């Protein structure tokens, strides 16, 4: 389904790409190696992004609602071309924002999202907590419970969330919890936990040391008798009660809290992977033109030139799948063949493959931390894991194209 799809960028989109590319070149890329080694959230760079007008609700809102659907994927590709770890620290808040946009009321959207961004003088972060130690791919089996204390119109949350990007350091956490475990995913709801509950029922657990995207903070979030006023249930209690009643009667519910968020964000995540792949391709192309062995640039060997040809071909194919999915998502064209998942699995695996080829092109240099491609290779691997593993994406695509309940 591509009727009306147009891959030609408007003038505004071209300006956006140029502007973000400059920011990535001047601010993100020079800081990449340092923050990868420090394995810490690059607050000064996020602040620079806020000052430039990139880290803001308005900026991401504008890209998210670009009628062509391409604004957000163009932004992701350019920022992640700069560096994936830093860029994830800059855009991590958008995942939690998407959960609020997808599940919250108009009033909640207006009140909660700004709390996660702060402003250029005092930047804040947002975090989406879905995964748990025993519920990663299988989000229907969340153990975190939300129990309602009707007398006090208060929700009591208990459980442990894991691998949360910005977990514990965020000023706004969106937590997906089970209200009625017998209904599995359809008995779940999303809650916004504002900063005032940090240390009062919400605490950071262990921070993980990772293989890649090390400038992005990943940690456990522990919920211990967190007493949350009723207004923090996204969408409100009436809507939740209605939805669960429909499910109990055997009717379909409108949406599943966690899955709705992931569906919408898949092309954006695919675009991040395209950015990482393009960064490694650009670097290795230049290297191959200047590195000489046997008295000629190594690109004059077909073995190297053909690698670069394949890298470019796969990157462009990944981008086109990503743009198509972003366009379909924005125009509410259903993903009848799992097009969102196609973009994520293909772009993710392309990033891993391309970054590995880049190391090969750089030879020994590529294997050292003196050169950026080994970092890009470590960073790329996350794209076959988070926001649905490659296997889960294939499950979604194969079920969509066959109509068969493939396990
Ligand atoms: C750096 C990082 C950041 C993250 N950020 C967040 C975040 O901000 N918020 C959040 O909620 N989560 C986050 N996650 C969690 C991430 O989404 C999960 O790691 C991911 O969904 C996979 O779950 P799992 O790790 O439990 O793997 P598992 O589900 O245990 O899977 C292990 C392996 O089994 C395969 N597998 C599982 N089930 C099937 C099946 N039915 N068919 C075929 N293969 C299957 C998987 O594909 C995988 O290869 C993050 C993870 C990482 C590493």
Question: Ligand 1 centre and the CA of 317: distance in Å?
Answer: 25
387 is catalytic: yes
- Residues 126-177: pLDDT tens digits? 999 999 999 999 999 999 999 999 999 999 999 999 999 999 999 999 999 9
pLDDT of residue 263: 66
pLDDT of residue 350: 99
Asked if 282 and 82 count as a contact pair (C-beta separation under 8 A), the reply is no
Structure tokens at 299: 């690109």
| Verdict on whether the full-model pTM lies above 0.85 | yes
Question: Ligand 1 centre and the CA of 387: distance in Å?
Answer: 7
β-bridge partners, 178:
145, 188
pLDDT of residue 250: 86
pLDDT of residue 261: 57
129 CA: nearest ligand 1 atom: 11
Regions of the chain where pLDDT drops below 50: none
Catalytic residue among 242, 339, 387, 391: 387
Ligand 1 binding residues, C-beta < 6 A: 128-131, 136-137, 163-165, 210, 213, 218, 382, 385-389, 391-392, 395
Q: What is the DSSP letter of 11?
A: H
pLDDT of residue 1: 57
Q: What single string gives the DSSP state of each residue in 322-344?
A: HHHHHHHHHTT---TT-HHHHHH
pLDDT of residue 251: 76
Q: What is the DSSP letter of 135?
A: B
Atom 11 of ligand 1: nearest residue by CA position: 130
Residue of 97, 136, 159, 388 with the most ligand 1 atoms within 8 Å of its CB, for mutation: 136
Please report which helix (H) or strand (E) contains residue 91, including its range.
Answer: helix 84-103
**CA pseudo-torsion sign 326, 118, 90, 158:** negative
């Amino acid at each position: 389904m591509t009727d009306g799809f147009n891959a030609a960028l408007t003038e505004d989109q071209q300006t956006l790409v140029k502007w973000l590319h400059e920011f990535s070149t001047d601010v993100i890329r020079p800081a990449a190696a340092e923050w990868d080694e420090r394995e810490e959230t690059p607050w000064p760079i996020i602040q620079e992004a806020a000052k430039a007008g990139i880290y803001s609700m308005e900026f991401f809102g504008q890209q998210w609602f670009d009628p062509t659907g391409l604004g957000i994927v163009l932004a992701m590709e350019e920022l992640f071309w700069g560096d994936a770890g830093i860029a994830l620290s800059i855009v991590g808040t958008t995942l939690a924002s998407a959960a609020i946009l997808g599940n919250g009321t108009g009033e909640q959207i207006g009140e909660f999202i700004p709390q996660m961004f702060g402003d250029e003088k005092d930047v804040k972060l947002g975090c989406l907590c879905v995964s748990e130690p025993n519920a990663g791919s299988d989000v229907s089996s969340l153990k975190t419970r939300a129990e309602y204390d009707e007398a006090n119109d208060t929700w009591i949350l208990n459980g442990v969330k894991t691998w949360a990007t910005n977990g514990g350091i965020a000023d706004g956490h969106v937590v997906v919890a089970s209200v009625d475990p017998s209904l599995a995913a359809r008995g779940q709801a999303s809650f916004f936990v504002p900063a005032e509950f940090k240390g009062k029922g919400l605490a950071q657990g262990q921070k993980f040391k990772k293989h890649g995207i090390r400038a992005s903070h990943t940690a456990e979030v522990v919920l211990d008798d967190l007493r949350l006023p009723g207004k923090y249930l996204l969408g409100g209690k009436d809507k939740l009660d209605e939805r669960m009643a429909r499910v109990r009667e055997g009717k379909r519910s409108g949406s599943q809290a966690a899955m709705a968020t992931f569906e919408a964000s898949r092309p954006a995540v695919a675009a991040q992977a395209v950015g990482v792949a393009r960064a490694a391709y650009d670097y290795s192309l230049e290297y191959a033109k200047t590195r000489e062995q046997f008295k000629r640039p190594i690109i004059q060997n077909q073995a190297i030139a053909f690698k670069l040809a394949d890298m470019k071909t796969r990157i462009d194919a990944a981008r086109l799948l990503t743009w198509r999915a972003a366009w379909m998502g924005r125009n509410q064209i259903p993903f009848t063949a799992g097009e969102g998942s196609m973009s994520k699995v293909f772009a993710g695996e392309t990033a891993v493959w391309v970054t590995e080829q880049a190391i090969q092109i750089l030879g020994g240099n590529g294997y050292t931390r003196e050169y950026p491609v080994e970092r890009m290779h470590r960073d790329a691997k996350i794209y076959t894991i988070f926001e649905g593993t490659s296997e889960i994406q294939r499950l979604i695509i194969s079920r969509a194209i066959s109509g068969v309940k493939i396990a």
